[in-house]
Amino acid sequence: MKIRQSFVLAVASILLISPSQEARSDAPPMPKKLRCEFESYASGEATQNASRITAQIKQGPGIDPLTFSSLDPVKGTAQFIGNAGASNVSFIATAFTWSFIEVTDAGNVNVTQIFLWNEPNADLGTYRAVHSRHSSMMGAIIASQHYGRCKALY
């Protein structure tokens, strides 16, 4: 548990202290949209009973594609389009990452982080990405992390 808390604090610190988009001379231009596809994932589910919490780890193909549009780094907003519809999300643009944070109506949190270096052997504007889902349903904690790529659409 302590390792997980330390990791979350470290990630939050990096996001908060990363240099601004303007501080990097070779930063990519802000696209109109980003289309993300995830080819693999790991997930766990923890159910609570009277004496303990158990977790199960799964691996397999990724989720349906995600799209981010209406990116506004000044206002810190964007629109997220997924298989369940569209929603407004928070958008944090740093010199080396673009991060999107969605809080669902149920209070679940989804985070997508795009790493702004071009993917080797891919078209320019193709970046590695991680999409993390943190949710609970009927007493179970369900978390997943999806790995793939996002393509900037100008």
What is the structure's pLDDT at 117? 87
What tokens were used for 32? 């109109």
Place of tokens 């596809």: 37
Contact 34, 114 (CB under 8 A): yes
pLDDT category, 12, cuts 50, 70, 90?
very low
Per-residue pLDDT tens digits for 116-145? 987 777 788 999 999 999 999 888 888 899
Question: What is the gyration radius of the CA atoms in the chain, in angstroms?
Answer: 16
Contact 144, 132 (CB under 8 A): yes
Q: What is the DSSP string of 56-89?
A: EEEEE-----EEEEEEETTTTEEEEEETTEEEEE
What tokens were used for 109? 């949190």
Residue with more model confidence, 7 or 106:
106
The DSSP 8-state label assigned to residue 128 in this structure reads E
pLDDT category, 4, cuts 50, 70, 90?
very low
- List the chain domain ranges: 20-153
The DSSP 8-state label assigned to residue 22 in this structure reads G
Fold of 20-153: Porin (2.40.160)
Q: What is the pTM of this model?
A: 0.79
